[in-house]
Structure 1
């Protein structure tokens, strides 16, 4: 019976294989997303970007399109 079942479900093997691959990729993506090192790096990048935006606003070198009065 196992041989018959294997033969009948053989066309679904690529789908089962793809399911396994998708699960592995999802698990790896979640591990990278919730990795404390990555979170810290992203927070530092956001902090640098916010500091740069604040310093641009204070120095008046912001977006030049804002000053266009056309």
Structure 2
């Protein structure tokens, strides 16, 4: 974009900065949500809840399936990364 374009877009700079910040927050939230270590900890906690009788087998199976789906997604290599590791 040339100098004139930059000058014309200057009033929108705060919006562009806000959008960048929102993208960063969403990216970090997704990273934490799909973090394999966090999911494994949740699976362990879920098993403890089953053993303690807090949940029944049906609810355990449903929640376990959800966590395993998240784990599978979290372990997939992502575009723009090397072997699934974030640069």
TM-score (norm 2): 0.54
Flag the structure with larger Rg.
Answer: 1
Alignment partner of 1:51 is 2:84: no
Normalized per residue, the structure richer in helix is 1
| Structure with higher RCO (Cα < 8 A, 6+ apart) | 2
| Matched residues, number | 54
The 5 A counterparts of 1:19-38 are 19-38=19-38
TM-score (norm 1): 0.64
- What residue ranges of structure 2 are gaps of 5+ in the alignment? 55-87
- What residue ranges of structure 1 are gaps of 5+ in the alignment? 55-70
Map of 2:3 onto structure 1: 3
Paired residue secondary structure (2:52): helix
Q: CA RMSD in A?
A: 1.8
